[in-house]
């Protein structure tokens, strides 16, 4: 009995909890990343805050399930994106219950959910925020992961749960749509200034 205890690697009785504390620590370090992404992904700050909070609650609840398959950042972003998608579906359902409009196809639906264009103070910044909000959610989700987090395309594929080819096409379309919106916007602005 006395010889047995010394051969095993040190594994204290409270080991699972220590690991969970470590995971909590890792999660805490990702909060600024999650908040920045959510702020850009959501329609407003309160929705962004809700997203991050829901995501963190789920992460804490499920942190014992994180088995170091990939980065904790990827795991958290995956959860945040799913929360966002589920929330969006819920919102659409709520809206369609309120507004009895039969023309409810995906694209029209999304256009209807877009905020109206904001005023032109802080011109360039709001330009981009507006343009991003006018992108389809899936395209915005992809382009922001790359632009804000500097993620590789296969990381993005893992988070959004799509093939890399789909990442490529979403990015490509998002980039071009943003460019078109911005050139149009800039043209309008310079016309107004000439007057």
CB of 25 to other proteins, least distance (A): 9
The reply on whether position 5 binds other proteins by CB under 8 A is no
Q: Which tokens go with 112?
A: 């209807």
Site string for other proteins, 50-89 (x = CB under 8 A): --xx--xx--xx-xx-------------------------
Site for other proteins in 94-133 (CB under 8 A): 124-125, 128-129, 132
Per the CB < 8 A criterion, the answer to whether 72 and 56 are in contact is no
* 148 near other proteins (CB under 8 A): yes
Q: In terms of C-beta distances under 8 Å and separation of at least 24 residues, what long-range contacts does 135-139 make, across chains too?
A: 135/174, 135/177, 135/178, 136/107, 136/110, 137/41, 137/84, 137/85, 137/88, 137/110, 138/170, 139/170, 139/171, 139/173, 139/174, 139/177
Indicate the DSSP class of residue 8.
S
- Two structure tokens written together for 158: 């893992």
Residues in the chain: 195
Choose one: 3-11, 78-86, 107-115, 142-150; the region binding other proteins (CB under 8 A): 142-150
- The residue ranges that bind other proteins (CB under 8 A) are 16-17, 20-21, 24, 27-28, 31-33, 35-37, 39-40, 49, 52-53, 56-57, 60-61, 63-64, 124-125, 128-129, 132, 143-144, 146-148, 150, 152-153, 168, 171-172, 175-176, 178-179, 182
């Amino acid at each position: 009995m006395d010889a047995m205890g010394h051969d095993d690697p040190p594994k204290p009785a409270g080991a699972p909890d220590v690991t969970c504390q470590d995971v909590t620590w890792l999660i805490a370090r990702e909060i600024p990343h999650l908040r920045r992404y959510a702020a850009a992904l959501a329609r407003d700050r309160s929705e962004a805050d809700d997203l991050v909070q829901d995501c963190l609650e789920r992460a804490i609840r499920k942190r014992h399930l994180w088995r170091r398959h990939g980065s904790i950042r990827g795991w958290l972003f995956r959860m945040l994106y799913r929360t966002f998608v589920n929330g969006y579906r819920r919102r659409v359902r709520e809206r369609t219950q309120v507004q009895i409009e039969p023309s409810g196809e995906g694209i029209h639906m999304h256009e209807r959910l877009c905020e109206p264009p904001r005023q032109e103070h802080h011109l360039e910044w709001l330009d981009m925020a507006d343009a991003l909000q006018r992108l389809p959610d899936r395209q915005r989700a992809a382009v922001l992961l790359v632009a804000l987090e500097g993620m590789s395309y296969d990381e993005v594929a893992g988070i959004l749960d799509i093939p890399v080819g789909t990442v490529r096409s979403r990015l490509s379309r998002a980039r071009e749509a943003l460019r078109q919106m911005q050139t149009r916007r800039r043209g309008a602005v310079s016309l107004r200034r000439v007057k």
